[in-house]
Amino acid sequence: MNYRSELSQLKYLGEYLLIFFFIFTSGVYGKEQPVSLANLDVLEVEDYTKGQFISFSPLLFNKNSDAQADDVVISGKVTDGDGVPLLGVSVVVEESNIGTVTDFDGNYTLTVPENSTLVFSFVGMVTKLVEVDGRQIIDVVMIEDVSSLEEVVVVGYGTQKRSDITGAIGVIDTEQYEDQPIIQVGQALQGLVAGVQVSQNSGSPGGGMLIRVRGAGTVNNSDPLYVVDGNPNVDPVDLIPDQIESIQVLKSASASAIYGAQGANGVVLITTKKGKSGKSRLNINLSQGLQTIQKHLPVTNAAEFATLYNEGLVNAGDAPLYPDPSALGEGTDWQREMFSVAPMTTLTVSASGGSEKSNFFFSGNYTTQDGILPRSDFERVSLRVNSSHEISPAITLGQNLAVNFSNKENLEEFYFAGVLARTLTANPEIAPRNPDGSFGVSTTSLNSVNPLAYVSQTINDSRRYVANGNVFAELTFLKDIVFRSQYNFNLTFVENTVFVPTFFLAVGQENQNATLQEGNTRTNEYSWANTLTYNKDFGNHNLDVLAGVTVQESTRKFVQASGGGIPENSADDENLRFLNLATIPGQIFGDGGSNGLFSYLGRVNYDYDGRYFATGNFRADGSSRFGANNKWGYFPSFSLGWKLSEERFLENSDWADNLMLRAGWGSLGNQNALNNYGFASLITPNTNYTFGEPQEVLIGQAPTGQGNPDLKWETTRETNLGLDFKGFNNKVSAYIDWYRKETSDLILRIPLVAYSGIQNFPFVNGGSVLNTGIEVMLGYENTTPGGFTYSIVGNASRNRNEVLDLINDGTSIFQEISFVGNANVTRVGDPIASQWGWQTDGIFQTQQEVDNHAFQTSGTSPGDIRFVDVNEDGVVDSNDQTIIGNPWPKLTYGLNTAFSYKNFDARVQFQGVYGNDIFMGLRFRTEGSNFFNYTQRVYDGRWTGPGTSNTIPAPNTNDPNNNMRSSDYYLESGSYLRVRNIQLTYKIPTYVFNDAINMSIYGSVQNAFTFTKYPGFDPEIGTNGSNPLYVGFDEANYPVPRVFTLGLKVGF
């Protein structure tokens, strides 16, 4: 046989191949299944079709019809969105029989009439029409036609066709956030999934996120579960967005039930990138960004501050301090001194490739992000290696491994003494530095600290070392059964150092003893999942069965030590910052513990003829955190689907490509509130006790914690009704869901009387919370005859949260903030963490108004706030406090647009919330009875006499009326619409680099514009990161910056 001749003929055939028509007969294969051959060459296609019931038919064209004098020769290269050459793409002159196909390298050459239009088409890709327009080289990038392919998404312990899923899930296309300057995956969820509320807790580099899926279902931790490549409980802060292939959010209980006790708050499934068969590829993505503060908060200058200070003293009956306020001039603008333009750099290098038997993906990432405030920088290095190897047709082995190191400078925030709060309230008469270079200090107000000096006197760093991933093996036997065993691990080690050197700024602002505190936290978590999957078609009956068992163990150890008298020159020499050099003993303490979870799980997916679908899940979890009486929790779910578009009355419809009704119910558990041994009583050794005559101190043991062996799981039961629609040639899409989610048996702690000696109050079950809501997603995508592709996708959701029951009637859970008092409450009939305080009714204008109103205080006078006597008993006291606001938005929404034309791509993303309130706690210092700087609105709108103001009280340094108590004076609307991202990408034609390199340049503006009435820095307010009830408070939270980014992507 002449192999050279045979190969030549195969290549010739490949050059002329236009399209493959795959016709599946009925028989054992049932219904037709689309197959993408976008990445297969001719030999692979032939191998793929062996033994299959497939008809294979080439359609050939005359490459060059009779040439005319005005014909031109066109050549170029056709690639996919990743720059991979496409073989067999049809290139045809519109409305003619002139055409050709691309070769193995994606190249084509064709003689065409001038001013003609070329039609590029390929199986699985969107057809493109390109005008010749006098050009001789035309390169084309083809994008995947998602409407022609069955979208497969990840579900718990497996995958499913998106169109067949009967639960409520959200699917995020990674292109929607690709190349944005985000450093953790939570930011990628903002505005992209209906029913998922996402807010940044802090705009500081490496800051955390508040994520709530369908509302807060408990007063405890409501964070969703993150599962990465099947590995549960991965911390999202350790994920690199550039290494992610897909994200799915399981929202309904019927979708999440396979995760049982871990899925009550929703599940975020993340799949990292894998290698693909074919040519190995190297990709480099480098971006450089500049961060700026979105806006400055208007505060008074030195002269205005002195004027208000004098008024406050005079109104309190004291003498004014500043003889001539105007002589002070503008003074120092502390926001301009503290905020700066901060750079950020991200570099990702990845290599991938493989064959039919093996594939690999390697990625390294380096991120550095300076803070817009000093001492808040972040740096991270990450490596990931994923691979899979088919040892034999029955055995596959693989692993997904990642290591991560990060260093974060921790800046004080979330309270009045934080760095940003000190920046806003600093006396503007203080100079940043004296002529000799030392820090300036206030000569009039000891309460006001130079924020530059303050931030320089503390070093607070955290170093985080993480290794996580899994190894797995798959065994296929009896053709339809797959056994998978996967061992997961998450290893985290965190070091924290707090160093305060000696310093002297002024009397009362000094530290004569350098201190050092070192803390280490080690967390090791291991899990092992073993599953059996059986997938079989019986004519029109399709069955997919999953059964498995998992075991999980987590151990945590923490130790902390401190000391004083560190050498004075340690401020300049890190080698002297060691606890063994301390001359003043500090404290040493630590804690630790472990917990385990053993689970059985199962799922059955059934559909008949692709029309009627049913899914049942069951999971049983046994947890070491509960006593023997309730150690096991049982969590079932079921869901049904009816695909109307497959019925005879719609199957030939020209408007309904996919129309499905869904309904589901499920039960989930939650144990996040519990410590490791919440069911057991605690006896503490080495406890001192004094008794007898004479009083003698003896060391013994004492009960310090009360256990509860009857404690049981928090249980969430949810009903979901939904509709999925794709129609009008798959251009229009819609997803609508309604849900009712009730969480019962809330895990709470109840206080005991002090003489019991119990320090750790017992856990009990008591209370329930209801969330109801509706979610809508609408989308439209199209390509015009001129090759302009665009898509618009919008989503909106409304959630109503209500506490139905607590332990005892009248029980309330309060949240206090410093100086202001109780500022939110969780009680029956209202949402969790509702804002709490007094209602206000303007400003007293005259003494007669004061006398005619209910008694407030003996010092109440004109110019003070008038509080409402809610119960009308003639006295304004604690009995008049009531619900004054709601921190949860009535509506969350997002709008995402994408445009593509020739080599240009553009994206614009909008995101917003409506109907929530923010408790602007910062006003206690910037508008209250203190010696700190004021906001400009106080200077412009304060009460100075009858009729001058009915909103802002007169300054009074004593505040006898307690104007700054918790009240609706602090409340502001938190509604906003943000242009989250504007991005433009230009793909450089491949011929520039002789088809050897794919290169694109992109630029973006993150947080470009924010439309809001909120007067603070930023209306995007989450929690303080540790207390789930500390929500909707702004105590000078680190603002989210605006980011300008330029980037370069290169592929080889």
pLDDT at 931: 74
- In this structure, are residues 191 and 896 in contact, taking their beta carbons and an 8 Å threshold? yes
pLDDT above 90 for 8: no
Per the structure block, which two tokens stand in for 767? Answer: 């209370």
pLDDT at 570: 87
Distance CA(407)–CA(449), nearest Å, equals: 28
Q: What is the mean pLDDT of residues 672-686?
A: 81
Of 404, 403, 406, nearest in space to 495 by CA: 406
End-to-end CA distance of the chain: 37
Q: For the segment 477-512, what is each residue's pLDDT rounded down to a tens digit?
A: 988 999 999 999 999 999 999 999 998 877 777 888
Distance CA(880)–CA(826), nearest Å, equals: 17
Backbone angles phi, psi at 877, to 5 degrees: -145, -165
Q: What is the mean pLDDT of residues 166-176?
A: 89
Per the structure block, which two tokens stand in for 486? Answer: 């996967």
Strands 481-500 and 515-538: antiparallel
Count Cβ neighbours within 10 Å for each residue of 403-433 and write b for 16 or more, e otherwise: bbebbbbbbbbbebebbbbbbbbbbbbbebe
Per the structure block, which two tokens stand in for 364? Answer: 């390294």
pLDDT at 446: 58
Q: For the segment 976-1015, what is each residue's pLDDT rounded down to a tens digit?
A: 999 999 999 999 988 888 777 889 999 999 999 999 999 9
Which residue, chain included where needed, has tokens 């296309």? 173
pLDDT at 150: 64
pLDDT above 90 for 789: yes
- In this structure, are residues 1039 and 203 in contact, taking their beta carbons and an 8 Å threshold? yes
pLDDT above 70 for 458: yes
Among the residue ranges 146-160, 218-232, 784-798, the one predicted with the least confidence is 146-160
Distance CA(770)–CA(717), nearest Å, equals: 10
Return the higher-pLDDT residue of 34 and 852. Answer: 852
Mean pLDDT of the chain: 88
Distance CA(699)–CA(690), nearest Å, equals: 9
Q: For the segment 366-425, what is each residue's pLDDT rounded down to a tens digit?
A: 999 999 999 999 999 999 999 999 999 999 999 999 999 999 999 988 777 789 999 999
Task: Report the run of H or E that residue 939 belongs to, with start and end.
Answer: helix 936-941
939: confidence class by pLDDT, cuts 50, 70, 90:
very high
Distance CA(259)–CA(253), nearest Å, equals: 10
Q: What is the mean pLDDT of residues 47-67?
A: 40
Q: What is the mean pLDDT of residues 599-619?
A: 96
Return the higher-pLDDT residue of 666 and 146. Answer: 666
Among the residue ranges 222-226, 637-641, 809-813, 1046-1050, the one predicted with the least confidence is 809-813
User: CA angle, 716 as apex, 736 and 210 as ends, to 5°?
Assistant: 70
Distance CA(439)–CA(456), nearest Å, equals: 10
pLDDT above 90 for 1020: yes
pLDDT above 60 for 30: no
The SS3 assignment for 277 reads coil
Among the residue ranges 54-63, 168-177, 467-476, 898-907, the one predicted with the least confidence is 54-63
Strands 763-765 and 812-817: unpaired
**pTM confidence score:** 0.83
Counting every residue, how long is the chain?
A: 1052
* Helix 42-49, helix 3-16: angle, nearest 10: 90
pLDDT at 146: 57
Which residues 6+ apart lie within 8 Å of 720 measured at CB? Answer: 167, 168, 252, 253, 254, 639, 662, 663, 664, 665, 737, 738, 739
Per the structure block, which two tokens stand in for 829? Answer: 């009939």
Among the residue ranges 160-174, 607-621, 888-902, the one predicted with the least confidence is 160-174
Return the higher-pLDDT residue of 105 and 311. Answer: 311
Distance CA(823)–CA(417), nearest Å, equals: 18
Query: Alpha-carbon Rg of the chain, whole angstroms?
Result: 33
Distance CA(604)–CA(615), nearest Å, equals: 6
Instruction: Kindly list the structural domains of the chain, giving each domain's residue range(s) and its CATH number in brackets, ordered by start.
Output: 1-145 (2.60.40.1120)
pLDDT at 68: 54
Q: For the segment 861-870, what is each residue's pLDDT rounded down to a tens digit?
A: 999 999 999 9
pLDDT above 90 for 282: yes
Strand-by-strand arrangement of the 107-113 sheet: 107-113, 71-80, 140-142
Give CA separation, 613 vs 52, 548, 657, 800, in Å: 27, 22, 17, 30
